[in-house]
């Protein structure tokens, strides 16, 4: 295209000023990166990216991820110029309650935002996932999907271990349509980068299978464009280091002072006075320039794509649309294995059987494990995803738990149905990405095996104690811990039917009997009665999840032999139970029954609301020990006899008399 450096400079000056004014009005924000990196995004959107506000969910649009999410004022300003539904009034409400311009970019809140970012490194890893998803879909539907993924990151991003995990895997897999632009300004929040980092950036990324390029002048749009166009021709992912000046042109440019605090108000007023116009004014020439570049190119690309897919085979196009909309009419209840009561196996094995069957029914399912597929048994149809086999649906993530989960978020952003797996104790390594799944409303399926101290000899480092509490405390996360094969089966169905909630499946390593017929499971209710009391009165309710249901049912038998009428409730999902009506909750856990006891090999804090002040949460308040599973379970008191002893200590309260 013919370059007009004058209009480029006018646009960049406008963008920088608008970012400063947004942050000044909000009295908070990060002006340094927004001002310094403005030429990068200006170049990317006016000269490179194919997208359109006409349909900001267009499947084949180029994706852009602002991994350095603190520079959100910059992307909001750019998207405003690009014609997305972000008005000047929205820019004036930057970081204010209820606005569509929040402090960090949020997918689903702001038009044109392709990923929720902010915690450093998450955006890079999500970008890897988006690019991986593009490779899979392009291999499967070459006439429908063929686009690039661009990421803008900063010094803080690439210092995160998560980011390095993801970059390493992207290089290994040769994700050539992934282009990372590195805003290299040598400054971070606490000062200069060289105070904590002295890596050879070029050699480091080349050694991880990436092409490397350097743009010495981060204000030179032509050089930035040349580097990106060159990267598009590479057969590897490309890392472009763009040398910029943080807070370019400002009094404190090049220092940490402009990183995370608004510019002085007087300085913003001086900027506006020198530029001209009222606050938040942008010259019409700038709008016209974006209209003649980004808008024109995007609409032409979108129309060309529409014309092309209209000629596609109808069956292929229908299948593609079903993947993108996740609206396959699959009767999972009919199609999946129903386990008989004589089935005895770990729930991880039952889950592996079900997942394999699901992947055979749904071509959008893909995922993998952090080097533990043979242990978690979480594998699907389709072979391994490699450089040579882009249709593979099993991803060998390696021991990269955090990147694995964040990459799955990226896959979900490309509207696929990803899963990932590891040992439950290692959910610590990826919890921030689970939180991002929940915040972004991505239905990623997290599969964790080795769910309790029953892991045994591996000892306390591998025994999950507080992990159920941790994950159950995250809003919009459905943690399901099934007790047997049929509850596991139903848990997977719930996970696949979820559209906006990630699901965590917590499965056993140890063999468990099948306790409940498929027709009698009610995992979708979160909790339900699996063994009713005898007679019309209830002397107590025992509540359990997972493997503890077996010993709980045995404890009931002992209590009944003592003449007590006991109800047993399976509670695989507190998240789902909390969504039920008050009438249903009262039906399952009547408030007039004072003796309620939860049995779970976990910290258990989330259960106290169900047992009331007279009940008991029988859990674990210390770390595990190294011993065979059965030995440590007995040592920690998870036996029918010990449960009975603890239950009998509970006082039976006459609530009517107690209230009086």
Give the pLDDT confidence score for residue 303 in this predicted structure: 97
Is residue 620, in this structure, part of any structural domain at all? yes
Domain that holds residue 595: 524-659
Give the pLDDT confidence score for residue 446 in this predicted structure: 98
pLDDT digits over 113-148, tens only? 999 999 999 999 999 999 999 999 999 999 999 999
Tell whether 433 and 564 lie within a shared domain.
no
Residue 61: pLDDT above 60? yes
Mean pLDDT of 176-182: 98
Is residue 312, in this structure, part of any structural domain at all? no
Mean pLDDT of 198-205: 96
Residue 56 banded pLDDT, cuts 50, 70, 90: very high
Give the pLDDT confidence score for residue 3 in this predicted structure: 56
Compute the distance between CA of residue 484 and CA of residue 487 in angstroms, rounded to an integer.
Answer: 5
Tell whether 296 and 345 lie within a shared domain.
no
For residue 272, give the CATH number of its domain.
3.40.50.970
pLDDT digits over 249-271, tens only? 999 999 999 999 999 999 999 99
Residue 5 banded pLDDT, cuts 50, 70, 90: confident
Is residue 316, in this structure, part of any structural domain at all? no
Tell whether 510 and 530 lie within a shared domain.
no
Q: Compute CA distances 633 → 500, 553, 626, 628, whole Å.
A: 37, 16, 11, 9
Mean pLDDT of 390-400: 97
Mean pLDDT of 468-480: 98
Is residue 636, in this structure, part of any structural domain at all? yes
Give the pLDDT confidence score for residue 656 in this predicted structure: 54
Compute the distance between CA of residue 139 and CA of residue 394 in angstroms, rounded to an integer.
Answer: 15
Contacts of 81 (CB under 8 A, 6+ apart): 11, 15, 45, 282, 286, 287, 290, 294
Give the pLDDT confidence score for residue 2 in this predicted structure: 43
For residue 654, give the CATH number of its domain.
3.40.50.920
pLDDT digits over 328-370, tens only? 999 999 999 999 999 999 999 999 999 999 999 999 999 999 9
> Domain boundary at 519, 553, 577, which?
519
The question of whether 285 is a catalytic residue gets the answer no
pLDDT digits over 528-573, tens only? 999 999 988 999 999 999 999 999 999 999 999 999 999 999 999 9
Share of the chain above pLDDT 70, in %: 98
Contact 100, 152 (CB under 8 A): no
Whole-number average pLDDT of the chain: 96
This prediction has a pTM of 0.96
Give the pLDDT confidence score for residue 535 in this predicted structure: 86
**∠ CA 58-63-68, rounded to 5°:** 140
Tell whether 65 and 29 lie within a shared domain.
yes
Q: Residues 22, 401, 487, 490: which is the catalytic one?
A: 401
Compute the distance between CA of residue 86 and CA of residue 272 in angstroms, rounded to an integer.
Answer: 22
Q: Angle, nearest 10°, between helix axes 5-26 and 72-81?
A: 130
Q: Domain tally for the chain? A: 3
Residue 658: pLDDT above 90? no
Compute the distance between CA of residue 601 and CA of residue 607 in angstroms, rounded to an integer.
Answer: 12
Compute the distance between CA of residue 384 and CA of residue 208 in angstroms, rounded to an integer.
Answer: 20
Tell whether 555 and 577 lie within a shared domain.
yes
Give the pLDDT confidence score for residue 654 in this predicted structure: 75
Selection from 459, 412, 461, 420 nearest residue 437 by Cα: 412
The partner residues of 187 in beta bridges, in order of sequence, read 192
> Domain boundary at 519, 535, 568, which?
519
Share of the chain above pLDDT 90, in %: 96
pLDDT digits over 481-494, tens only? 999 999 999 999 99
The partner residues of 63 in beta bridges, in order of sequence, read 149
Is residue 238, in this structure, part of any structural domain at all? yes
Tell whether 168 and 297 lie within a shared domain.
yes
């Amino acid at each position: 295209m013919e370059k007009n450096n004058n209009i480029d400079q006018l646009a960049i000056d406008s963008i920088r000023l608008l970012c400063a004014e947004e942050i000044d009005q909000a009295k908070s924000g990060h002006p340094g990166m927004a001002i310094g990196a403005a030429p990068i995004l200006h170049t990317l959107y006016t000269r490179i990216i194919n997208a359109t506000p006409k349909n900001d969910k267009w499947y084949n649009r180029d994706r852009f991820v602002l991994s350095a999410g603190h520079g959100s004022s910059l992307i909001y300003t750019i998207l405003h110029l690009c014609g997305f539904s972000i008005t000047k009034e929205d820019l004036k409400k930057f970081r204010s309650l209820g606005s569509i311009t929040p402090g960090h970019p949020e997918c689903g809140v702001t038009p044109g935002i392709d990923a929720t970012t902010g915690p450093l490194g998450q955006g890079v890893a999500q970008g890897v996932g988006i690019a991986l998803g593009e490779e899979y879909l392009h291999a499967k539907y070459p006439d429908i999907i063929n686009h690039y993924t661009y990421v803008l990151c900063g010094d803080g991003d690439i210092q995160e271990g998560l980011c390095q995990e993801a970059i390493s895997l992207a290089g290994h897999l040769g994700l050539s349509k992934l282009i990372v632009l590195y805003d290299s300004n040598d400054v971070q929040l606490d000062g200069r980068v060289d105070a904590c980092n002295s890596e050879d950036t070029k050699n480091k990324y080349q050694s991880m299978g990436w092409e490397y390029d350097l743009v010495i002048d981060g204000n030179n749009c032509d050089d930035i464009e040349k580097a990106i166009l060159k990267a598009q021709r590479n057969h590897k992912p490309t890392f472009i280091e763009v040398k910029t000046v943080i807070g370019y042109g400002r009094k404190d440019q090049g220092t940490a002072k402009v990183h995370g605090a608004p510019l002085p108000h007087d300085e913003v007023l001086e900027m506006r006075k020198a530029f001209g116009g009222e606050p938040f004014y942008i010259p019409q020439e700038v709008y016209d320039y974006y209209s003649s570049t980004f808008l024109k190119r995007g609409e032409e690309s979108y129309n060309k794509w529409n014309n092309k897919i209209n000629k596609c085979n109808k069956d292929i196009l229908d299948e593609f649309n079903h993947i993108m909309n996740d609206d396959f009419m699959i009767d999972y209840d009919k199609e999946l294995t129903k386990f008989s009561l004589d089935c005895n196996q770990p729930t991880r094995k039952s889950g592996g059987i079900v997942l394999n069957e699901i992947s055979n029914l749904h071509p959008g399912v893909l995922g993998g494990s952090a080097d533990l597929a043979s242990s978690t048994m979480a594998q699907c149809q389709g072979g391994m995803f490699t450089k040579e086999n882009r249709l593979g649906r099993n991803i060998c993530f390696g021991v990269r738990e955090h990147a694995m989960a964040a990459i799955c978020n990226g896959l979900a952003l490309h509207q696929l149905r990803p899963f990932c797996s590891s040992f439950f104790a290692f959910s610590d390594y990826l919890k921030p990405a689970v939180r991002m799944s929940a915040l972004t409303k991505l239905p990623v399926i997290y599969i964790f095996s080795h769910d309790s101290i029953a892991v045994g000899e591996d000892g306390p480092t591998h025994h999950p104690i507080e992990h159920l509490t941790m994950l159950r405390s995250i809003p919009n996360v459905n943690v399901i811990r099934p007790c047997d094969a049929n509850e596991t089966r139903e848990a997977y169905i719930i996970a696949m039917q979820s559209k906006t909630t990630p699901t965590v499946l917590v499965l056993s390593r140890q063999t468990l009997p099948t306790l409940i017929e498929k027709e009698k499971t009610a995992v979708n209710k979160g909790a339900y009665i699996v063994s009713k009391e005898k007679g019309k009165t209830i002397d107590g309710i025992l509540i359990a999840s997972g493997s503890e249901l077996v010993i709980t049912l045995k404890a009931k038998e002992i209590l009944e032999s003592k003449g007590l009428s006991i109800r047993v409730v399976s509670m695989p999902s507190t998240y789902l139970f909390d969504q039920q009506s008050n009438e249903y909750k009262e039906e399952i856990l009547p408030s007039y029954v004072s003796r309620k006891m939860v049995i779970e090999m976990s910290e258990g804090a989330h259960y106290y609301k169900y047992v009331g002040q007279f009940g008991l949460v029988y859990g674990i308040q210390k770390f595990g020990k190294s011993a065979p599973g059965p030995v440590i379970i007995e040592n920690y008191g998870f036996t029918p006899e010990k449960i009975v002893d603890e239950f009998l200590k509970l006082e039976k309260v006459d609530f009517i008399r107690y209230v009086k």
